[in-house]
Structure 1
């Protein structure tokens, strides 16, 4: 691979005015130091904040094409995300970012169960232009997906073939993939 691909992480927090270093930030920093995977981290506490952050990345960052993974760390349910006690369906999110995520992998941490029908996943991909959507079918309050997320991100750096990436992820960390029910829709 000629150039690295970057990660844009957006984490939903109760209040963006309160600055805390979350587990996600610490692990993204480790990923950058240990494996050279560059990321940008932002927080949001409203749907407008989500839209504004992704919009700024899309329109203001001239390296947007280098961001392969949009990493969303937010709570929610099967087909929705929760920001500041409001639920937004992935269809609504898709419409907000219509055509703006071309070629990106949208990856959800296991704070939100990702359980989509094939039609729901295909709608999100078709409307946003995303290459794939991934996440986990199981949520555990005491087990974070961050370690598996880091491996997934690192493997995406090495290989453009998502099927190969997922196969290698399962070969190396089968028990964790099974426990958290890693899913990829493409």
Structure 2
């Protein structure tokens, strides 16, 4: 059954480092600020630069105090079926191990290159094990600015349309070139 709630979908974001420079200002936080300023979408932002911190960030998200945050946004470098955290990796299966049964109705957006370039079985397993309502992300390497611009549009669509069918329809119809170029995908 599709979600038809009319409340704003707030975002819980976990972000890694985009480069090795310790004083780099690269971050997706400015798009979260824009979404709050113009659409009143609240967010929690956590910088997690180690695998241990990333897992703690995921576990923290499942606490009751974050129950109004219905979008989990994971922003890291990625590879096929995994997220890069410094010199370490974490697979979709490992993330599902941490979040098993804890994401009922949550939208998971993985803003990392190629992570969803995996089998449909792996993605379906992630959805079934975590209970998330929808997972979205990229099936190829994408330019940073392109992905950030698209994600700003995507999160706005998430808060404009309430059913997953209408979200998918509107993303594909409004931004077909971006969806194709970025190999953006989502399953629910």
Could you tell me the TM-score, scaled by structure 1's length? 0.88
Q: CA RMSD in A?
A: 2.1
Alignment of 1:61-100 (within 5 A): 62=65, 64-100=66-102
Structure 2 residue ranges without an equivalent (≥5): none
Measure how far apart 1:90 and its partner are.
Answer: 0.8
In 1, distance between residues paired with 2:8 and 2:145?
Answer: 29
Equivalent residue pairs, number:
182
1:164–1:91 distance in 2 versus 1, CA, 3 Å: same
- Within the alignment, does 1:58 sit opposite 2:62 as a pair? yes
Task: Tell me what 1:11 maps to.
Answer: 15
Measure how far apart 1:74 and its partner are.
Answer: 0.8
In 1, distance between residues paired with 2:156 and 2:187?
Answer: 19
- Please give the per-residue CA displacement for 1:119-171, whole angstroms capped at 9, x wherever unaligned: 10111111111112110122134643112112211111122211211111122
Query: Residue 103 of structure 1: which of 98, 102, 105 is its match?
Result: 105
In 2, distance between residues paired with 1:14 and 1:183?
Answer: 22
Query: Residue 34 of structure 2: which of 17, 30, 34 is its match?
Result: 30
Measure how far apart 1:54 and its partner are.
Answer: 2.4
In 2, distance between residues paired with 1:106 and 1:139?
Answer: 19
- Please give the per-residue CA displacement for 1:71-119, whole angstroms capped at 9, x wherever unaligned: 1111121211111211221111100111111111111114344212121
In 2, distance between residues paired with 1:136 and 1:2?
Answer: 27
Measure how far apart 1:6 and its partner are.
Answer: 0.3
Could you tell me the TM-score, scaled by structure 2's length? 0.87
